[in-house]
Amino acid sequence: MKKPRITYFLISVITLTVFLAFSSYGVVLAQEETTEEAPPPEEIKLSTTYPVRRGPSGTTFEFKVEASYRGEGERTFDLSAKAREGWYASIQPAYEQTEIAAVRMRPFSPESLKIVLIPLKNMSPGEYVATLEISSGDLRDSIDLKAVITATYKLALSTSTGRLNTSVTAGEDNHFALILANQGSDAIENISFSSDKPEGWSITFKPDKVESLEAGKTQEVDLTINPPGKTIAGDYAVTVKVTSDNASDDLELRITVLTPSLWGWVGVGIVLIVVGGLAVVFVRLGRR
**For position 64, which CATH number holds?**
2.60.40.2310
Query: Are the beta carbons of 45 and 68 closer than 8 angstroms?
Result: yes
Same domain, 96 and 131: yes
Q: Does 193 map to a domain?
A: yes
Same domain, 188 and 208: yes
Question: For position 1, what pLDDT does the model report?
Answer: 46
Same domain, 234 and 163: yes
Q: Does 231 map to a domain?
A: yes
* Residues lower than pLDDT 50 in the chain: 1-2, 27-30
Question: For position 123, what pLDDT does the model report?
Answer: 86
Same domain, 117 and 203: no
Q: Does 175 map to a domain?
A: yes
pLDDT digits (tens, 9 = 90+) for 45-55: 999 999 999 99
Q: Does 5 map to a domain?
A: no
Same domain, 76 and 164: no
Domain boundary among 150, 185, 218: 150
Q: What is the DSSP string of the chain?
A: -HHHHHHHHHHHHHHHHHHHHHHHHHHHHHHHHHHHHSPPPPEEEEE-S--EEEEETTPPEEEEEEEEEESSS-EEEEEEEE--TTEEEEEEETT-----SEEEE-TT--EEEEEEEEESSPPPSEEEEEEEEEEETTEEEEEEEEEEEEP---EEEEESSS-SEEEEETTS-EEEEEEEEE-SSS-EEEEEEEEE--TT-EEEEESSEEEEE-TT-EEEEEEEEE--TTPPSEEEEEEEEEE-SS-EEEEEEEEEEEPPHHHHHHHHHHHHHHHHHHHHHHHHHHH-
Same domain, 145 and 163: no
Same domain, 144 and 172: no
Domain boundary among 111, 126, 150: 150
Q: Does 87 map to a domain?
A: yes
Q: Does 204 map to a domain?
A: yes
Same domain, 138 and 188: no
Same domain, 114 and 199: no
Domain boundary among 150, 168, 197: 150
Same domain, 162 and 217: yes
Query: Are the beta carbons of 104 and 76 closer than 8 angstroms?
Result: yes
Question: For position 179, what pLDDT does the model report?
Answer: 97
Q: Does 138 map to a domain?
A: yes
End-to-end CA distance of the chain: 192
pLDDT digits (tens, 9 = 90+) for 128-155: 999 999 999 999 999 999 999 999 999 9
Q: Does 74 map to a domain?
A: yes
Q: Which domain holds residue 76?
A: 43-150
Same domain, 137 and 164: no
Question: How many domains, the chain?
Answer: 2
